[in-house]
């Protein structure tokens, strides 16, 4: 009987689950995550700590922020120590707020075994992607299937050229299910594809639509500054975005500024399988600082909440596309200088900028780029008193002051 193998990943749909931050050393400095993704033992000195990105229900198996690096309870680590001692390095870690023992699971085996023909779709890094260090590796793998004959005696491993995947043997799959490890999710990567020919065709068409839209947006983002190679995605995806994927891109601008943009509100409506610009807009928030870790900063939190309102409410989208529009969002977790006495933060959308375009083109049509300006509490009070005229007056004063759409925490209010 042919051996069976499974893609092991984190179940992100568990209600009220915790979310882990990036590993820290004794000096509270972030460890480089690539140390644990290259398939080699990591040589660390001192104690390693895992902070909580978001508190919640503790899990036996979780990934750290932004990487497929597992942090597991000691009883899960024991399964790997018993069944795959030559494939893993077990690094004791302290998880913030937890008295139970946890371990960072560093997978030290890489196997070249992805079956390109049996997988639903594979794409490779090419010279035009401008990442020579990844040339020939996988840019995406959809519906991954592996060739078991190439695995050898490995019990857990990362796949060559697509190291985000963690594959385990059937023995480990069954052992983790026996101990009822929470946070784990498995998908078989051996045997025939689980989708029909019609489904394969539909999936390929949807991916082509989304990739065309994303490529056009990336071209527009590169005209605005230096685009970070990676996009950010949330812990749980939102089905309210047109392509049912919720993404953000980061653009490094002159004078050390950081521009954060939504990267998917203009995706085609994936359920319709036809070209479109989705909601016809993307949001842009620029700050006067070089934000190193976007995932932990207030700009992403603020833009995320604004984007949720735009994606979920048609009346909001229509007013945003019509011109200046202000709204309030929850101030939880946002800087105190922005939060009013009611615990709310206001933003003004659509302030015109001298350095950002109003629109950009895609093969599916024009997309409006809508600026998001964080307001101070006194400016919110001014808006509540003066309504639409107040919006126009605030926008005029921001332009007059030379900062237009820029969001800054330390500035004098204009109202």
Nearest one of 378, 294, 309, 368 to 341, comparing CA atoms:
378
- Angstrom distances, CA of residue 70 to CA of 61, 105, 140, 184: 6, 5, 21, 10
User: What does the pLDDT look like over 237-282, one tens digit per residue?
Assistant: 557 999 988 899 999 999 889 999 999 999 999 899 999 999 999 9
Per the structure, the complete domain to which residue 36 belongs is given by 5-116+147-188
Whole-number average pLDDT of the chain? 92
Task: Judge if 176 and 261 occupy the same domain.
Answer: no
The reply to whether 126 falls in a domain is no
**Is pLDDT at 197 greater than 90 in this prediction?**
no
Task: Judge if 270 and 321 occupy the same domain.
Answer: yes
What's 29's DSSP letter? P
For 311, phi then psi, to 5°, come to: -70, -35
Residue 282 bridge partners (DSSP): 369
Task: Judge if 278 and 163 occupy the same domain.
Answer: no
In the prediction, which pLDDT does 311 show?
96
User: What does the pLDDT look like over 2-55, one tens digit per residue?
Assistant: 799 999 999 988 999 999 999 999 888 999 888 999 999 998 888 999 999 889
**Is pLDDT at 414 greater than 80 in this prediction?**
yes
User: What does the pLDDT look like over 158-184, one tens digit per residue?
Assistant: 999 999 999 999 999 999 999 999 999
Pairing of strands 52-54, 19-20: antiparallel
Task: Judge if 276 and 364 occupy the same domain.
Answer: yes
**Is pLDDT at 235 greater than 60 in this prediction?**
no
Task: Judge if 180 and 276 occupy the same domain.
Answer: no
Judged by average pLDDT, the poorest of 57-71, 193-207, 239-253 is 193-207
Task: Judge if 112 and 30 occupy the same domain.
Answer: yes
pTM for this model (two decimals): 0.68
Residues of the chain above pLDDT 70, percent:
98
The reply to whether 134 falls in a domain is no
Task: Judge if 338 and 294 occupy the same domain.
Answer: yes
The reply to whether 72 falls in a domain is yes
In the prediction, which pLDDT does 295 show?
76
Q: Please, what is the angle between helix 314-322 and helix 298-312, to 10°?
A: 110
**Is pLDDT at 193 greater than 80 in this prediction?**
no
**Is pLDDT at 194 greater than 60 in this prediction?**
yes
With contact defined as beta carbons under 8 Å apart, do 144 and 174 qualify? no
User: What does the pLDDT look like over 84-107, one tens digit per residue?
Assistant: 999 999 999 999 999 999 999 999
Neighbours of 308 (CB within 10 A): 15
In the prediction, which pLDDT does 200 show?
78
**Is pLDDT at 236 greater than 70 in this prediction?**
no
User: What does the pLDDT look like over 331-377, one tens digit per residue?
Assistant: 999 999 999 999 999 999 999 999 999 999 999 999 999 999 999 99
Q: E strand or H helix at 329, and its extent?
A: strand 325-330
The reply to whether 98 falls in a domain is yes
List of residues 6+ apart from 355 with CB closer than 8 A: 224
Task: Judge if 233 and 298 occupy the same domain.
Answer: yes
Number of domains in the chain: 2
The reply to whether 410 falls in a domain is no
Alpha helices in 223-370 (DSSP H): 298-312, 314-322
Nearest one of 235, 298, 237, 245 to 59, comparing CA atoms:
235
Last residue of a domain, one of 135, 156, 188: 188
Dist. CA 50–CA 20, nearest whole Å: 7
The reply to whether 308 falls in a domain is yes
Dist. CA 384–CA 375, nearest whole Å: 12
Task: Judge if 310 and 276 occupy the same domain.
Answer: yes
User: What does the pLDDT look like over 269-327, one tens digit per residue?
Assistant: 989 999 999 999 999 999 998 777 777 789 999 999 999 999 999 999 999 999 999 99
Helix (H/G/I), strand (E/B), else coil: 91: strand
Work out the pLDDT band at 233, boundaries 50, 70, 90.
low
Strand ranges for 65-209 from DSSP E: 70-73, 88-95, 102-107, 110-111, 121-124, 138-142, 156-159, 162-169, 184-188
In the prediction, which pLDDT does 199 show?
83
The reply to whether 298 falls in a domain is yes
**Is pLDDT at 387 greater than 60 in this prediction?**
yes
Task: Judge if 100 and 240 occupy the same domain.
Answer: no
The reply to whether 66 falls in a domain is yes
Task: Judge if 371 and 224 occupy the same domain.
Answer: yes
Task: Judge if 219 and 174 occupy the same domain.
Answer: no
């Amino acid at each position: 009987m042919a051996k069976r193998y499974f893609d092991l990943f984190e179940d992100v749909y568990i209600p009220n689950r915790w979310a882990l931050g990036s590993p820290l050393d004794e000096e509270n400095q972030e460890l480089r995550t690539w140390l644990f993704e290259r398939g080699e033992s990591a040589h660390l000195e001192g104690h390693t700590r895992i902070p909580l990105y978001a508190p919640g229900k503790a899990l036996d198996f979780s990934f750290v922020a932004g990487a497929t690096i597992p942090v597991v309870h000691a009883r899960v680590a024991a399964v790997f120590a018993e069944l795959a001692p030559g494939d893993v390095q077990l690094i004791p870690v302290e998880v913030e707020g937890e008295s139970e023992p946890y371990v960072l699971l560093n997978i030290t085996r890489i196997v070249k075994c992805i079956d390109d023909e049996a997988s639903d779709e594979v794409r490779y890094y090419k010279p035009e992607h401008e990442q020579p260090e990844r040339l020939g590796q996988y840019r995406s793998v959809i519906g991954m299937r592996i060739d078991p004959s190439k695995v050898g005696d490995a019990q857990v491993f990362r796949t060559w050229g697509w190291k985000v995947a963690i594959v385990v043997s059937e023995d480990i799959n069954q052992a983790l299910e026996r101990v009822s490890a929470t946070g784990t999710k498995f998908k078989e990567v051996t045997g025939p594809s689980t989708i029909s020919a019609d489904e394969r065709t539909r999936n390929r068409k949807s991916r082509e639509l989304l990739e065309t839209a994303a490529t056009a947006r990336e071209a527009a983002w590169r005209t605005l500054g230096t685009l970070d190679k990676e996009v950010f995605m949330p812990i749980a995806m939102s089905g309210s975005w047109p392509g049912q994927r919720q993404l953000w891109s980061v653009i490094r601008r002159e004078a050390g500024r950081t521009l954060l943009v939504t990267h998917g509100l203009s995706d085609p409506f994936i359920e319709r399988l036809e070209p479109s610009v989705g909601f016809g807009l993307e949001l842009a928030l620029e700050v006067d600082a070089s934000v190193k870790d976007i995932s932990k900063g207030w700009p992403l939190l603020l833009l995320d909440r604004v984007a949720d309102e735009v994606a979920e409410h048609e009346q909001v989208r229509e007013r945003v596309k019509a011109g200046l529009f202000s709204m309030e969002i929850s101030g939880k977790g946002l800087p105190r200088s922005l939060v009013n006495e009611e615990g709310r933060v206001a933003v003004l959308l659509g302030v015109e900028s001298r350095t950002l375009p109003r629109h950009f083109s895609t093969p599916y049509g024009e997309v409006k780029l809508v600026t998001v300006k964080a307001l101070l509490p006194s400016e919110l009070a001014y808006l509540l008193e003066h309504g639409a005229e107040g919006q126009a007056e605030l926008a005029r004063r921001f332009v007059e002051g030379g900062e237009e759409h820029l969001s800054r925490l330390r500035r004098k209010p204009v109202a």
